[in-house]
């Protein structure tokens, strides 16, 4: 872990947070089962990713609430870029939710209305704890994104071409901005106990929420009570090569008192994505352009 006056946020030397706008090719004509042609795996990601429109606006509100306490110019700029990236992600996953609605999955829009209202109230009533929850969820998104890039054969190669750019773009930008909310939290007061309580509660809530949102998607496909679907699904998440199993060591780092997101120097994971994006080769036939805050 590097920690010195020239690099107070432990960031990689060539690091920048670059909000990128992309028009995605997903539509109701995209395949229903876009991850490995597998219903459970796809609906797990559908259930999780479609929390982002409400969730990411919650992160932005949580961080913006305290930006007046930040004296560091670099961190102020990072807050701008973080907010732009999360805003773009939120819109992209709104489109994802619209596609699911058009495909007949009506539960997502209803659940999101409730989630958005609950998170706005949470911001108002418990702003400091909201920031602690934000850094906990940002750790989740960072370690899942890390794993996506670390094990492409398990998590990227099975994705249908329509969804692959959305998946890779979001994961890359989550790695890119993973330290911002944490650095704001440290500047606000950095309470260790609040951070740990937030992580424990967030872990339980996220696991419950994903399964509560996943169930209606499987029910619509008449797979909710399919033993085979659940057996394969549990193996995808909790098996030896399962997504959740693989991230456990990285997840546990958060509980260290001296933890910082950039202890894990994984910025090079997204070198190829950055190069492809900057050269306009990221999404076939669609010009890519960067937007800044």
Residues of this chain that interact with Fe ion (CB under 5 A) are 56, 86, 89, 141, 174
CA angle 160, 166, 172 (to 5 degrees): 120
Quote the least distance from Cβ 72 to Fe ion, whole Å.
20
Q: Closest approach of Cβ 180 to Fe ion, in Å? A: 8
To Fe ion, the closest distance from the beta carbon of 138 in angstroms equals 5
Distance CA 52, CA 3 (A): 32
Nearer to Fe ion, 159 or 181 (CB): 181
**Residue number with the smallest Cβ distance to Fe ion:** 89
Between CA 145 and CA 157, with CA 151 as vertex, the angle to 5 degrees is 95
150 CB-near residues (< 8 Å, 6+ apart): 246, 266, 269
Closest residue by Cα to residue 131 from 171, 172, 186: 186
Q: Which is nearer to Fe ion, 39 or 136 (CB)?
A: 136
Least gap, CB of 134 to Fe ion (angstroms) = 9
In the complex, minimum distance from the CB of residue 230 to Fe ion, in angstroms, rounded to a whole number: 28
Q: Taking the CA atoms of the chain, what radius of gyration do you get in angstroms?
A: 19
Cα→Cα distances 287→33, 89, 170, 290, Å: 27, 18, 17, 10
Among the residues of 164-226, which ranges form H helices?
Answer: 164-176, 180-188, 192-220
**Closer CB to Fe ion, residue 56 or residue 183?**
56
CB of 290 to Fe ion, least distance (A): 16
What letter would DSSP give residue 159? Answer: B
Minimum Å gap between C-beta 66 and Fe ion is 16
Cα 103 to Cα 5, 23, 27, 41, 188: the distances in Å are 53, 20, 9, 17, 44
């Amino acid at each position: 872990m590097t920690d010195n006056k020239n690099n107070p946020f432990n960031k990689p030397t060539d690091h920048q947070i670059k909000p990128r706008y992309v028009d995605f090719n997903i539509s109701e004509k995209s395949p229903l089962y876009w991850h490995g042609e597998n219903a459970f795996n796809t609906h797990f990601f559908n259930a999780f990713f479609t929390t982002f429109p409400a969730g990411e606006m919650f992160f932005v509100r949580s961080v913006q609430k305290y930006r007046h306490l930040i004296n560091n110019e670099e961190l102020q700029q990072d807050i701008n870029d973080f907010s732009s990236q999360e805003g773009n992600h939120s819109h992209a996953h709104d489109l994802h939710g619209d596609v699911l609605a058009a495909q007949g999955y009506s539960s997502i829009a209803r659940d999101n209305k409730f989630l958005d209202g609950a998170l706005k109230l949470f911001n108002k009533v418990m702003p400091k704890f909201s920031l602690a929850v934000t850094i906990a969820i940002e750790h989740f998104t960072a370690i899942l994104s890390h794993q996506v890039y670390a094990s492409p054969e398990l998590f990227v190669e099975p994705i249908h071409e329509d969804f692959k750019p959305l998946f890779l773009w979001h994961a890359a930008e989550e790695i890119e901005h993973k330290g911002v909310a944490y650095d704001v939290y440290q500047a606000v007061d950095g309470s260790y106990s609040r951070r740990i309580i937030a992580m424990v509660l967030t872990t339980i809530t996220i696991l419950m929420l994903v399964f509560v949102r996943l169930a209606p998607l499987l029910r619509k496909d008449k797979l909710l009570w399919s033993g085979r679907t659940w057996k394969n699904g549990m193996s995808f998440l909790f098996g030896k090569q399962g997504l959740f199993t693989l991230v456990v060591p990285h997840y546990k780092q958060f509980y260290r008192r001296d933890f910082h997101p950039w202890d894990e120097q994984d910025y090079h994971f997204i070198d190829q994505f950055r190069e492809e994006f900057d050269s306009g080769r990221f999404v076939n036939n669609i010009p890519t352009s960067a937007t800044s805050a």
